[in-house]
Amino acid sequence: MISFIVLMSIVICFSAILALALNFQWGLGGMVNFGLAGLYALGAYACALLMLKGGFNTFFATIGAMVIVGVISGLVAFVTLRVAEEDYFAIVTLGVGEMLRLVALNEDWLTRGALGLSGIPRPFGELVPAEYYAYFMLAISAMLVAATVWFLNRVARSPFGRIMRAVREDDVVAATLGKYVLWARVRIFAIGGALIGLAGSLHAFYYQYIDPTQFSTIVIAYAFMAVIAGGRGAHAGTIIGAAVVMVLLEGSRFAKDIIPWLDSDQLSAIRIIIIGVGLILLLIFRPQGFLREYRLQVELK
**Which pLDDT score is estimated for 170?**
86
pTM of structure: 0.92
In sign, the C-alpha dihedral spanning 267, 269, 272, 276 is negative
Give the per-residue pLDDT at 247: 84
Q: Where are the domains of the chain?
A: 2-216
Q: Under DSSP, is residue 284 helix (H, G, I), strand (E, B) or coil?
A: helix
pLDDT computed for residue 196 by the predictor: 97
37 phi/psi in degrees, rounded to 5:
-65, -40
Amino acid at 35: G
Angle, CA 78 vertex, CA 73 and CA 82 arms, to 5°? 150
Q: Which long-range contacts (CB under 8 A, 24 or more apart) does 83-86 make?
A: 86/30, 86/31, 86/171
Distance CA 43, CA 104 (A): 12
Residues of the chain predicted below pLDDT 70: 1, 84-86, 251-259, 261-262, 264, 294-301
Q: What's residue 296's pLDDT?
A: 59
Per-residue pLDDT tens digits for 142-181: 999 999 999 999 998 899 999 999 999 888 888 888 888 9
Q: Which amino acid is at 297?
A: Q
- Identify each DSSP E strand in the chain by its residue range: 117-118, 209-210
Please choose, from the candidates 232, 223, 231, 233, the residue with its C-alpha nearest in 3D space to the C-alpha of residue 156: 233
Q: What is the DSSP string of 46-61?
A: HHHHHHHTT---HHHH
CA quadruple 69, 72, 78, 79: dihedral sign: negative
Residue 67: the pLDDT is 97
Q: Quick one: CA torsion of 225, 228, 233, 237, rounded to 10 degrees?
A: -80
Write the single-letter amino acid at 130.
Answer: A
Question: How confident is the model at residue 297, as a pLDDT?
Answer: 58
Cβ neighbours, 10 Å, residue 249: 19
Using CA atoms, how far apart are residues 215 and 219, in angstroms rounded to an integer?
A: 6
Question: Which residue, among 170, 204, 163, has the nearest Cα to 184 in the 3D structure?
Answer: 163
